[in-house]
């Protein structure tokens, strides 16, 4: 069994390394082609940090583990808000850009509503997948047009986001090679993670869903944790919030949407009973904190962390 836990850890490391390598390679290609920081931030960096969740969910649903596939998305969104955003707010209070949050906040709420509707349907079918991907495409066009209209105010967020991504020498071809390596690492890591997570779940007597909501969800959210923590330490608090909101939108509309197109995702009963509502409550909580003062202060960050601790303790109660 020690080998299984070791392979699980290796899978997590490969996922993180693969996502980082993919972002570096894709960003190198984009900069070589003269793509603006705005477009890089909206697409490559956002999608790149979500690559571990995407590959993990696809691998899980194809392996017949829908609990890990859906638990990964729901659990990642919950962890992004309660754990990562709470930690970022503790490091540095988050000042919110009113205009950006008016756009992205509403899209976060809309994607959450779509996710709840799909979960309550019992199975996330390809029709739901098409709806989600259409919504993501509309959001990207909307965001792009909005940023283009006010680049001085908004594009700085994406400049901060992309300046943390180092490029490699050699231009386009080196970037493409690095991106391919990142994809390979991510796929290999996802396979190790999913296969061994199922074995661990059976060994400790919990469901695949619980493992997906905890170990897998937090593990695949580590790129967002690093990005948000770095942004908070550098006092780019709007980037930390934007990173979390963007990731949650991608997780539902992009990752769950693509996964549903590949294979229908059957919803485990425990997600309908509790976990989807925890995600909804976390989303409502961050919207409430922002709307009450256009900032998230340290005390509110602590409240988010305490809430996440309570949720994890509830999920782990069967282990004792």
pLDDT tens digits along 42-71: 566 566 667 777 888 888 888 888 888 899
pLDDT at residue 110, rounded to an integer: 95
Opening angle at CA 24, ends 22 and 26, nearest 5: 65
pLDDT confidence band for 318 (50 / 70 / 90): low
What is the C-alpha end-to-end distance of the chain, expressed in Å? 20
Within 10 angstroms of residue 205's Cβ, the number of other Cβ atoms is: 9
In the 8-state DSSP scheme, what is residue 264? -
**Six-digit token pair at 146?**
């909005």
Which residues, including other chains, have CB under 8 Å from residue 224's CB and lie 6 or more apart?
Answer: 49, 80, 84, 243, 244, 247
User: Are 71 and 274 contacting, i.e. CB atoms less than 8 angstroms apart?
Assistant: no
Sign of the Cα torsion 264, 193, 276, 92 reads negative
Taking the C-alpha atoms of residue 42 and residue 56, their distance in angstroms, rounded to an integer, is 22
pLDDT digits (tens, 9 = 90+) for 102-155: 778 889 999 999 999 999 999 999 999 999 999 999 988 887 776 666 654 445
Q: Would you give the distance in Å from CA 28 to the centre of its chain?
A: 22
pLDDT confidence band for 2 (50 / 70 / 90): confident
Of 61, 48, 42, 58, give the one whose Cα is nearest residue 182.
48
Identify the weakest region by mean pLDDT among 17-26, 104-113, 148-157, 296-305: 148-157
pLDDT at residue 152, rounded to an integer: 46
User: Are 249 and 107 contacting, i.e. CB atoms less than 8 angstroms apart?
Assistant: yes
Of 201, 226, 229, give the one whose Cα is nearest residue 52.
226
pLDDT at residue 41, rounded to an integer: 56
pLDDT at residue 70, rounded to an integer: 93
pTM value? 0.80
Of 37, 239, 44, give the one whose Cα is nearest residue 151.
37
pLDDT digits (tens, 9 = 90+) for 208-260: 788 888 878 877 777 777 767 766 776 766 667 877 888 899 899 999 999 99
């Amino acid at each position: 069994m020690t080998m299984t836990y070791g392979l699980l850890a290796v899978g997590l490391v490969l996922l993180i390394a693969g996502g980082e390598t993919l972002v570096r390679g894709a960003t190198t290609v984009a900069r070589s082609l003269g793509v603006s920081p705005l477009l890089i931030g909206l697409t490559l960096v956002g999608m790149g940090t979500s690559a571990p969740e995407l590959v993990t969910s696809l691998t899980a649903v194809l392996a017949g583990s829908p609990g890990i596939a859906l638990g990964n998305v729901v659990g990642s969104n919950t962890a992004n808000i309660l754990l990562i955003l709470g930690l970022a707010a503790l490091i540095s209070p988050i000042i919110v850009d009113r205009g950006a949050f008016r756009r992205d906040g509403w899209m976060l709420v809309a994607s959450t509503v779509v996710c709840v509707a799909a979960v309550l349907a019992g199975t996330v079918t390809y029709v739901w997948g098409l709806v989600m991907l259409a919504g993501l495409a509309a959001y990207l066009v909307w965001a792009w047009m909005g940023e283009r209209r006010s680049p001085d105010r908004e594009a700085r967020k994406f400049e901060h986001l992309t300046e943390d991504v180092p490029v490699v020498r050699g231009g386009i071809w080196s970037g493409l090679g690095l991106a391919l390596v990142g994809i390979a690492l991510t796929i290999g890591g996802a396979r190790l993670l999913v296969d061994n997570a199922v074995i661990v779940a059976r060994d400790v007597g919990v469901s695949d869903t619980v493992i997906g909501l905890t170990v897998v969800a937090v593990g695949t959210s580590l790129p967002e944790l690093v990005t948000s923590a770095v942004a908070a330490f550098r006092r780019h608090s709007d980037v930390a919030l934007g990173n979390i909101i963007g990731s949650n939108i991608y997780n539902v509309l992009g990752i769950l949407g693509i996964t549903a197109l590949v294979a229908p995702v059957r919803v485990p009963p425990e997600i309908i009973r509790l976990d989807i509502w925890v995600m909804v409550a976390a989303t409502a909580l961050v919207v409430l904190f922002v709307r009450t003062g256009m900032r998230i202060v340290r005390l509110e960050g602590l409240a988010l962390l305490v809430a996440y601790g309570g949720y994890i303790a509830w999920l782990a109660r069967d282990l004792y």
